[in-house]
Structure 1
Amino acid sequence: MRHGDQWVLIEGPFHPSSDANRDEITVFFPDFYDLGSSPALVGAKTYRLSTEELRKNCEAFLVHAPPTEAPVRKASWEEPLKEHFANALKITQDRIAKGEIQKSVPAVFARSRQTVTAPERAQMLLRLLEAPSTLYVYGLWQNGEGVLGATPEVLFDYSKGYLKTMALAGTCPKSEASSRESLLQDEKEMQEHLYVLEDLMSVLHPWGEVKTEGPKIVELPTLYHLKTDIEIRCKTKPEFFSLIKQLHPTPALGVAPRSAGYKWMAEFPGQEGRRGFGGPFAFIGKEEALCLVAIRNLQWNRNTSMIGSGCGVVAASELEREWRELYQKRLSVRKILGLDV
């Protein structure tokens, strides 16, 4: 994981940890729909490297690495079916019309029959060294499965008594920026953003006074997002695993209001193998913790790879516009990882 100007690398073997807030860094990456699906993990050794040190390590590894016969960077991708997303959009908007919910975030997945090899991970890491500071680079792999990506979204960041998070919702692909009004004047995107902001302020209020800054437009390599920064000076230090359960998922990836539940979205077509996409990806220490939202990533197992994307559906959502946004989000992953587009 990249944190500031340092890269934190944890070497296996990994073993489950039942202790919260321990001295060693604990990694927690469960399934989106089941926070109990995977234990927190502790590795054998932790390294903190500069960008240049990590670059030299990757380059040295690649000098002796055998070539990959079927590289995922040149893979052909089976794109998600538009009719599957149209079905999810209709179900969501029907529930909105009935007053059951205000918003949900369906996800779709492009899939490849090629997996990710160790040399390819090194090559992708070299690309990710150049990722802008607005993105958090993260990854975890073991036993033939893994994830690697660069997310713009933080579930929470706790350090020295301060809890920081963000409402990140409302999107405009750069390719459409000249033909659309500013996100700050876009009624649909602002409404989607406010659902997330209001939810977070409500959930976090018991921890202390909630201060916000925004909304503002943040620029990513291929997208613009609406973002409001949130900060609380906590009355007491959180128990980090409990905080994850309280916050996940925000309406940026789940459903507004929370009381409507979110696991019903698992019944949307095309959800096979979602695993941790959109879930928490946490690095937890005794006194500090950083929990990311696991989006903008490549996931793989021994036989296949997949890239997911999600979009917020509200009453005013339009199929074609949301379908283009979903594609642009997947395209951003392929570009930043150096996959053929």
Structure 2
Amino acid sequence: MAFIKAGDGPYVVGLGPFTSHAAAPDAGTAFYCNDFTLSDPEPWKVPTETREVESLEEIGLAPVSSSVTWQDLDPEGFAAIFAEINEMIGRGVIEKSVPVATEHGTLESGHGCSLMGNLTPLGAPFYSYGWSDGERGFCGGTPELLFELDGRQLSTMALAGTAKADEREVFAVDGKEIREHEFVAQTLVAKLSDIGSVTRAERSIMDLGQLVHFHTSIEVELFALRGVDELIRRLHPTPALGPLPRTEQTLQMLADWRQRMQCPEQFGAPFGLLKDGTFRSVVAIRGLHWQGAEVAIPSGCGVIEASRLVNEWRELRLKREAVKAALGL
């Protein structure tokens, strides 16, 4: 099964079995599900049945009492990767990259899929999402939209820079966080300016309860119609989740760093829904991943020259705590 919920709207649910396709269907509903490296040759998943519901309990996903035995994270492994990124920045190979730390655990009883019903109903600005395929799956509530496409109108966002909600005032003038955000916003504008007329809003602060982020809305009137798959490959990964500059070399570095920290393949990947001719893809962050009773919560942070290890390690923990709270863990 699969679902996406935008803000205060209903859950759009796809029930299987699914058929997989290399290209989006001409009509009907399809989910886009791929990994971070976009390696699936048939990422379009067409459900047998589609439903719109106000609650996941309507499709049998009720909250359950769950307990997870968590493993301690390895700060030394992350510190080593942080040092390697700093070395690459010092050598001028990259300006930014996004390492990931993953907390692993084991359910004391049950299957990871059962936790989907625990997902707190989240309104705007969150997008709730989930996917379950046999023994594996993921679910979460992400604040980040990769893009929405309706004809020639494309909407996207820059979402980068993080702080605790009670640090909002100092966050608003934090030079490091502003620079990190501007890397993302300016790169997105550059990537889109050759295919459409771009309108960038002013930078604002998005309030997510426990956390705040810098947020910039970007609207594009495309010069011509563009395919969804082409736009996904153009925009993913954005500098909020990927390296800057984005080259074959820097992407491979990031893939190696993610693998060393046992990052789930779908973390930060595009997860989308095509319905009634409109496509919306979220960035699959702030979520739980599972295989059987084994569960994982990954979190990433943007590292630039001004970043400091202790601050980034703290940010990673705050993001994982927000996911645990949303899932009653």
- TM-score under structure 2 normalisation? 0.91
Aligned partner of 2:5: which letter? R
Equivalent in the alignment of 1:85: 78
Aligned partner of 1:167: which letter? A
Q: For residues 115 and 315 of structure 2, what CA distance do their matches in structure 1 show?
A: 27
1:2 matched to 2:5? The reply is yes
For residues 62-92 of structure 1, give each alpha carbon's deviation from its aligned partner in whole angstroms, at most 9, with x where no partner exists.
5xx9xx7xx6x32121142111111111111
Mean alpha-carbon deviation: is it higher for 279-288 or for 296-305? 279-288
Matched-pair contact (CA < 8 Å) for 1:21–1:240: no
Aligned partner of 1:173: which letter? K
Q: For residues 292 and 325 of structure 2, what CA distance do their matches in structure 1 show?
A: 23
Distance 1:332 1:238, change over 3 A: same
Shift of 1:24: 2.2
Shift of 1:98: 0.7
For residues 296-317 of structure 1, give each alpha carbon's deviation from its aligned partner in whole angstroms, at most 9, with x where no partner exists.
0001012411000000000111
User: Does the residue aligned with 2:69 lie in a helix, a strand or coil?
Assistant: coil
Shift of 1:163: 0.3
1:295 matched to 2:285? The reply is yes
Shift of 1:274: 1.6
Q: For residues 139 and 55 of structure 1, what CA distance do their matches in structure 2 show?
A: 11
Aligned counterpart in structure 2 of residue 25 of structure 1, from 21, 29, 34:
29
Equivalent in the alignment of 1:57: 58
1:120 matched to 2:96? The reply is no
1:257 matched to 2:245? The reply is yes
Aligned partner of 2:111: which letter? V
Q: How high is the sequence identity, in percent, across the aligned residues?
A: 32
Equivalent in the alignment of 1:267: 256
For residues 124-151 of structure 1, give each alpha carbon's deviation from its aligned partner in whole angstroms, at most 9, with x where no partner exists.
14x2x2x131110000101111111000
Q: For residues 284 and 323 of structure 1, what CA distance do their matches in structure 2 show?
A: 36
For residues 308-327 of structure 1, give each alpha carbon's deviation from its aligned partner in whole angstroms, at most 9, with x where no partner exists.
00000001111111100000
Superposed CA RMSD in Å reads 2.1
Aligned counterpart in structure 1 of residue 312 of structure 2, from 319, 322, 325:
322
List, as ranges, runs of 4+ consecutive aligned residues in structure 1 with deviation greater than 4 Å: none
Q: For residues 140 and 338 of structure 1, what CA distance do their matches in structure 2 show?
A: 19
User: Does the residue aligned with 2:125 lie in a helix, a strand or coil?
Assistant: coil
User: Does the residue aligned with 1:295 lie in a helix, a strand or coil?
Assistant: coil
Matched-pair contact (CA < 8 Å) for 2:197–2:223: no
Aligned partner of 2:323: which letter? V
- Matched residue pairs, number? 321
Matched-pair contact (CA < 8 Å) for 1:156–1:164: yes
Distance 1:32 1:194, change over 3 A: same
Matched-pair contact (CA < 8 Å) for 1:311–1:326: yes
Q: For residues 238 and 84 of structure 2, what CA distance do their matches in structure 1 show?
A: 20
Give unpaired runs (5+ residues) of structure 2: none
- TM-score under structure 1 normalisation? 0.88
Distance 1:253 1:61, change over 3 A: closer
Distance 1:154 1:18, change over 3 A: same
Distance 1:75 1:38, change over 3 A: farther
For residues 199-244 of structure 1, give each alpha carbon's deviation from its aligned partner in whole angstroms, at most 9, with x where no partner exists.
1011111221110112101100210000000001122222001110
For residues 250-284 of structure 1, give each alpha carbon's deviation from its aligned partner in whole angstroms, at most 9, with x where no partner exists.
11000011135312122226433521001111112
Higher share in helix = 1
Aligned counterpart in structure 1 of residue 271 of structure 2, from 264, 278, 281:
281
Written as runs of structure 1 = structure 2, the 5 A alignment for 1:154-233 is 154-174=145-165, 177=167, 182-233=170-221
Q: For residues 288 and 313 of structure 1, what CA distance do their matches in structure 2 show?
A: 34
Q: For residues 35 and 153 of structure 1, what CA distance do their matches in structure 2 show?
A: 22
1:150 matched to 2:153? The reply is no
Mean alpha-carbon deviation: is it higher for 90-99 or for 12-21? 12-21
Shift of 1:285: 4.1
Give unpaired runs (5+ residues) of structure 1: none
User: Does the residue aligned with 1:321 lie in a helix, a strand or coil?
Assistant: helix
1:15 matched to 2:11? The reply is no
Distance 1:163 1:61, change over 3 A: closer
